[in-house]
Amino acid sequence: MAITIKTIPVLEGQAAIEFVEQAEKNARLKTPKLSEKSRRRLQVALEKSRQFKFKS
């Protein structure tokens, strides 16, 4: 028994142009930076994850 494959929507015309313009505009926005406190918390979490071992 065959299963119908759903078609993938494709943007065309003005909608496609606006989508690309908005994506390029968003790509140029400044990315927020982490505070030192947040950076340290992430570093601790990363170190703990690297040291984690499953019980045998």
Q: What is the pLDDT of residue 46?
A: 96
Q: What is the pLDDT of residue 40?
A: 96
Q: What is the pLDDT of residue 19?
A: 96
pLDDT values of the chain reduced to their tens digit, one per residue, 56 residues: 788 888 888 999 999 999 999 999 999 998 888 999 999 999 999 999 999 988 87
Asked whether 50 and 42 are in contact (CB, 8 A), the reply is no
Q: Dihedral of CA 42/44/50/55: which sign? A: negative
Asked whether 17 and 25 are in contact (CB, 8 A), the reply is no
Q: What is the pLDDT of residue 30?
A: 87
Q: What is the pLDDT of residue 9?
A: 87
